Chain A
Amino acid sequence: MIYDVNAYIGKWPYWPVRSSSSAEVAGELTGWGIDRAAICSTRSIFVHWDDGNCEVEQAAKNAPDRFVAFATLGTLELSHQLPRRGYDFEAYAVRGFRGVRLFPHHHSYHPLYDGFVDTVLEDAAARRWPVLLPLRLIMNWGMPMLELAVIEALVERHPRVNWILSGINYLWELQLAVRLMRRIPSVNLETSCVMGYAAVEKLVEQCGAERLLFGSGAPIQHGAAALSKILHAAIDTNSKEQITSGTFRRLVGEI
């Protein structure tokens, strides 16, 4: 079984992508050899985070063997109104969500200065829910990026969170991820944007396969291409299994 921690449903606003509905994405993932995926709706990123969560909830209910729901959380403040409520993690748990995703570079808040982030992270840590934090959405040089120093500061501020660093490519980006993983045991890395030569081998040697998760960025990114870097890496079978399923299942509480 191949588990993917970083897949999407929903429309892609920048160029045509052939799959967007949950059924289409499920079919695409199957074609690429991916059995199960944690999904986020792009509606959560580009329209409103909680509307997208409703789509994710429905997709996971319709196909619980294919999809795991991660809740995208954003600020509750509006242009005309201060927050009137807080985040109800218990309600999200009841709805079937198993993790959190943050997209500060798409949601117009600074993760170090907007207080809701600390609240969310403390709640996520208490529930042991993983929190996926992307440097960038997909590996495209035109996508907005978080500053590496901001990621480092946020992770260090919340060392109890089960972090899944995302959107990391190569060179100094990867060096930051390794540095954080070596210093903080609860920091993990998903591989959707890791493109460097022998990067997976080096990551396993430096941090251990139990800290790595396969991520595809599908269907925007090519799932089989993303998976190939794990399947063809010069690492042992146990490490491959760990990256493609073990770490994911541990973080979402399936094992």
Chain B
Amino acid sequence: MIVDAHVHIGKSTRLQIAADGEMLVRIADRIGFDKICCTDLTALFYDMHEGNRLLAGEMRKFPDRILGYASLHSTRFGQEAIEELDRCYHDYGMRGLKIYSTPEMSIAEPCTIPILEKCVELDIPILAHTTPQECEFLLGHVPGAKLIMAHAGSQPFARGDWNRAIMAAQRFPSLYLDTASSTIDTGFLETCVNTLGAERIIFGTDTPLLDPWPQLMKVRETKLTQDALALVMGGNILRLMGAAA
């Protein structure tokens, strides 16, 4: 069972993406992924209600293939964001939250805390486009949150520093690392697993921004045991989402 835990659906001119469920399932079929966990780009960058509704529609078309993250374009919408999260969980069947963060609009601020607490209540993971420092702030306030650091530090705002991401994850047992990234450094995954354990690493590709093949190969073509790979490549995200294999 291979699950890609980091996929984008919908439209974004900024990322030059226009992808629906059919296209993404076709890509998953071609590469051999059983399930894909999607976040809608409209929800992530513009209107959470519209985008999450669109994603729910795509999930209904591919109920065995697409798992959904609820997405919030900002954590500064207070009760409205909490209610949207509730709707995504109870009405749409989404089992995770995706939030973005930039240096200019960092989510490492008090208004994010009630949202994380809501995720703890719902027992869902948060895939957050955060730096290691932001993760430390968030988990310092809500240590029970199951936070997945998108790209494991290998993104522009985190200056590509996956070593620091591992150090942050050593301090917080509920911090998980996502493998999706332009970075394909040798030894990255082995270092993660040796330091944190295979249970803390989540396989993702960032399709269709990134080519999924290098993302798959940098994980599969490593010196990990089959058991460890099974966790990284699907077992962990299914466990966190409480989803059936």
Contact = CB atoms under 8 A, between A and B. Distances in A.
B207 interface: yes
Contacts of B106: none
A37 to B, nearest CB: 14
B160 interface: yes
Main secondary structure of the interface of A (DSSP, over half): loop
Contact of A141 (B31, B158, B213): B158
Contact of A222 (B154, B207, B221): B221
A222 B156 contact: no
B186 A142 contact: no
Nearest to A199: B211
Interface in A94-153: 138-143
Interface string A174-208: 00000000000000000001011111100000000
B160 A225 contact: no
Interface in B119-159: 154-156, 158-159
Contacts of B211: 195-200, 229
Nearest to A18: B187
Given A196-B210, A222-B221, A228-B214, A140 B160 contact: yes
Contacts of B217: 222, 224-225, 227-228
B186 A221 contact: yes
Interface string B101-115: 000000000000000
A219 B160 contact: no
A84 interface: no
Interface residues of B, number: 31
A170 B182 contact: yes
A30 to B, nearest CB: 13
A28 B182 CA distance: 21
Contact of B214 (A141, A195, A198): A195
A218 B214 contact: no
Contacts of A169: 182
A16 interface: yes
Contacts of A224: 217-218, 221
Given A196-B209, A219-B186, A15 B163 contact: yes
Contact of A195 (B182, B191, B216): B182
Given A15-B163, A139-B182, A197 B210 contact: yes
Contact of B183 (A18, A140, A228): A140
Contacts of B183: 138-141
A140 B156 CA distance: 8
A225 B189 CA distance: 13
Interface in A218-238: 218-229, 232
A171 interface: yes
B10 interface: no
Contacts of A229: 211, 213-214
Interface in B191-245: 191, 207-218, 221
Nearest to A192: B184
Nearest to B222: A222
A195 B213 CA distance: 9
A17 interface: yes
A177 B212 CA distance: 22
Given A17-B187, A138-B185, A142-B161, A225 B210 contact: no
Contact of A142 (B160, B209, B221): B160
Contacts of B159: 141-142
Interface of A: 15-19, 28, 32, 138-143, 169-171, 193, 195-200, 217-229, 232
23 contacts: A15-B163, A15-B185, A15-B187, A17-B186, A18-B187, A19-B186, A141-B159, A195-B210, A195-B211, A197-B207, A200-B211, A221-B186, A222-B186, A222-B214, A224-B217, A224-B218, A225-B214, A225-B218, A226-B214, A228-B213, A228-B216, A229-B214, A232-B213
Given A220-B185, A221-B186, A225-B218, 19 more contacts: A138-B185, A139-B183, A140-B183, A140-B185, A141-B158, A169-B182, A196-B209, A196-B211, A197-B208, A197-B211, A198-B208, A219-B186, A220-B186, A221-B184, A221-B185, A222-B184, A223-B186, A225-B184, A229-B211
